[in-house]
Amino acid sequence: MKHAYRRPESALVVIYDRQGRVLVMQRQDDPEFWQSVTGTLEVGELAFNTALREVREETGIDIQKAGYLLTDHRHTNQFAIRDIWQHRYPPGTPFNTEHVFSVQVAGDDQIILTEHLHYLWLDKISAMEKVWSDTNRLAIKDCVPDRFMPT
């Protein structure tokens, strides 16, 4: 049986609500790793469609059905693939390219976890402190409007 490797290209979606709280989720395979929605682009799939699909799969929120606006920040990050996940990618693939998106939700959406242990709604600063990756931290900083910051 041939091993199907992941593409080293993903979508990251920062979800925040009308109060500026950011949704962060705890990974099942590494409980120290908290993150926003993220997922690999499938063959032939556009990053925008990956973002829509991953939010639906990981949280149960259907952005289009709910009438939310998915924002493509037209920004990509490149980061080194963690050693513990290297086996998922073709041999010799050191980096992943991540497309950054965000969506503002009402905040009363039912969250249905399928790939994570727990979730939290945190203020912007706390969310930036909680997430594991630098690229996720930067995405929260850049995507969640500053009007939600304490004065």
> Which residue in 59, 132, 71 sits closest to 99, CA to CA?
71
Residue 27 labelled as part of a binding site: yes
Residues 6+ apart with CB under 8 A from 96: 8, 9, 10, 78, 79, 81, 89
Residue 135 labelled as part of a binding site: no
Q: Are 17 and 61 in contact (CB under 8 A)?
A: no
Residue 9 labelled as part of a binding site: no
Residues in a beta bridge with 89 = none
Residue 115 labelled as part of a binding site: yes
Cα–Cα distance, 118 to 89 (Å, whole number): 26
Residue 38 labelled as part of a binding site: yes
E strands present in 2-138: 9-17, 22-27, 34-35, 37-40, 70-80, 95-105, 116-122
Residue 58 labelled as part of a binding site: yes
Q: Are 15 and 23 in contact (CB under 8 A)?
A: yes
Annotated binding site for substrate: 27, 38, 133
Annotated binding site: 27, 38, 54, 58, 115, 133
Annotated binding site for Mg(2+): 54, 58, 115
